[in-house]
């Protein structure tokens, strides 16, 4: 059975781009008698707001989208991510990092690394080779993020591939992202870890999401191999653009689904705007 999911972050109201992504996943499941899940990616304690959760659920139902209950809130399942971290730690693949964002950028520039099309400069591995004594000392001084030792992780699993419904078999090259962060200082997980764990625990068999996330799937494929998870199929769809050829964004409050509703637009009209 095909199981898909829509996984928004409650940091603002949904816009037509979200509607496109939700309807894409919903149709992919329902046209073959599958299941559609809703997951709320609310691990950011600063930007995520409870009121947006209720609003986005209301907007989705207004569009005619129903999901298998209950929706999964990541903030209620931190123990699942901690368990995955513990597994990776036991494998000797995690290390604490005490560098600030500014330090990472400065050290990467000094090492001659150009910025990558990821989350910023490639981390130069400053904290990877700290002695156990130095690590303990710094851990006592304050919190750290936890990074994946990418070289060791890749060596452990060897060559990997994953399948995209639009582009076929894809060779994974997670090493281009360097030692990615898997747990933050303020919450025991990161996007890469939580999305991989959630898809596995929820039995998601087809991950549909925007093409802007195509390349980071390499990281998720690596984590699946390390943690012993099944690998779902993927379909990275186009990004919906506005009349000016720009991606829809939450900061543009004039075109949120809520604003369109208040302006008198019908669900059918909004589905049309989203290409459905």
Q: Is residue 260 left, alpha or beta, with left meaning phi > 0 and alpha meaning psi from -120 to 50?
A: alpha
**pLDDT at 177 (0 to 100):** 94
One domain for residues 127 and 187: yes
CATH assignment of the domain containing 31? 3.40.50.620
One domain for residues 261 and 161: no
Q: Is residue 204 part of a domain?
A: no
**pLDDT at 18 (0 to 100):** 95
Mean pLDDT (whole number) for 132-147: 91
Q: Is residue 206 part of a domain?
A: no
Q: 115 versus 250: which is more confidently predicted?
A: 250
One domain for residues 185 and 90: yes
**In the structure encoding, which two tokens stand for residue 196, read together?**
């991989």
Residue pLDDT, tens place only, 180-237: 999 988 888 999 999 999 999 999 999 999 999 999 999 999 999 999 999 999 999 9
pLDDT over 90 (residue 117):
no
Q: Is residue 217 part of a domain?
A: no
One domain for residues 111 and 40: no
CATH assignment of the domain containing 93? 3.90.800.10
One domain for residues 84 and 194: yes
**pLDDT at 206 (0 to 100):** 98
Under the banding of pLDDT at 50, 70 and 90, the label for residue 120 is: low
pLDDT over 80 (residue 254):
no
Helices assigned H by DSSP within the chain = 16-30, 50-62, 78-90, 101-110, 132-141, 150-157, 191-201, 217-227, 257-262, 267-273
Under the banding of pLDDT at 50, 70 and 90, the label for residue 112 is: very low
> Domain range holding 191?
78-198
One domain for residues 70 and 148: no
Percent of the chain with pLDDT over 70: 92
Under the banding of pLDDT at 50, 70 and 90, the label for residue 253 is: low
**250 noted as active-site residue:** yes
Q: Give the CA count within 13 Å in the CB-facing half-sphere of 3.
A: 15
One domain for residues 178 and 101: yes
Percent of the chain with pLDDT over 90: 77
One domain for residues 99 and 68: no
One domain for residues 88 and 173: yes
**In the structure encoding, which two tokens stand for residue 142, read together?**
């304050």
**Which of 110-119, 175-184, 240-249 is predicted most confidently?**
175-184
Q: Is residue 100 part of a domain?
A: yes
Q: Is residue 151 part of a domain?
A: yes
C-alpha to C-alpha distances, 152 to 95, 96, 128, 140, nearest whole angstrom:
12, 15, 11, 26
**pLDDT at 249 (0 to 100):** 72
Residue tagged active-site, from 30, 35, 49, 250: 250
Residue-averaged pLDDT of the chain: 91
One domain for residues 107 and 193: yes
Which residue, 175, 198, 221, sits at the end of a domain? 198
Q: 108 versus 50: which is more confidently predicted?
A: 50
Residue pLDDT, tens place only, 32-61: 999 999 999 999 888 899 999 999 999 999
pLDDT over 60 (residue 113):
no
Number of domains in the chain: 2
- Rounded to whole angstroms, the Cα distance separating 222 from 150 reads 9
Residue carrying structure tokens 């399942």: 77
One domain for residues 192 and 90: yes
**pLDDT at 106 (0 to 100):** 63
Sign for the pseudo-dihedral over CA of 254, 274, 214, 73 = positive
Which residue, 146, 166, 198, sits at the end of a domain? 198
Q: Is residue 105 part of a domain?
A: yes
Phi, psi values for residue 79, rounded to 5°: -65, -30
One domain for residues 37 and 145: no
Q: Is residue 91 part of a domain?
A: yes
Which residue, 132, 163, 198, sits at the end of a domain? 198
Residue pLDDT, tens place only, 73-98: 999 999 999 999 999 999 999 999 99
Q: Is residue 228 part of a domain?
A: no
């Amino acid at each position: 059975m095909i199981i898909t999911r829509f996984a928004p972050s409650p940091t603002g109201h949904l816009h037509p781009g979200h509607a496109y992504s939700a309807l894409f996943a919903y149709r992919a499941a329902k046209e073959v008698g599958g299941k559609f899940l809703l997951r709320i990616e609310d691990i950011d304690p600063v930007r995520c707001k409870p009121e947006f959760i209720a609003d986005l659920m209301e907007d989705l139902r207004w569009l005619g989208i129903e999901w298998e209950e209950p929706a999964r809130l990541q903030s209620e399942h931190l123990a699942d991510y901690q368990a995955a971290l513990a597994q990776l730690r036991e494998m000797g693949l995690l290390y604490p990092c005490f560098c600030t964002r500014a330090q990472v950028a400065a050290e990467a520039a000094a090492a001659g690394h150009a910025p990558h099309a990821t989350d910023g400069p490639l981390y130069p591995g400053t904290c990877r080779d700290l002695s156990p004594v130095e690590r303990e000392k710094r851990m006592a001084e304050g919190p750290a993020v936890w990074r994946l030792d990418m070289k060791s992780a890749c060596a452990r699993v060897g060559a990997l591939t994953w399948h995209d419904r639009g582009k076929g078999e894809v060779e994974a090259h997670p090493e281009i992202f360097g030692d990615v962060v898997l747990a933050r200082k303020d919450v025991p997980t990161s996007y890469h870890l939580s999305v991989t764990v959630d898809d596995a625990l929820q039995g998601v068999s087809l991950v549909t999401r925007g093409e802007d996330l195509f390349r980071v799937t390499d990281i998720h494929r690596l984590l699946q191999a390390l943690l012993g998870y099944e690998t779902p199929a993927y379909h990275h769809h186009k990004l919906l653009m506005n009349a000016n050829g720009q991606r829809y964004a939450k900061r543009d409050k004039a075109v949120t689904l809520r604003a369109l509703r208040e302006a008198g637009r019908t669900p059918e009209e909004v589905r049309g705007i989203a290409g459905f």
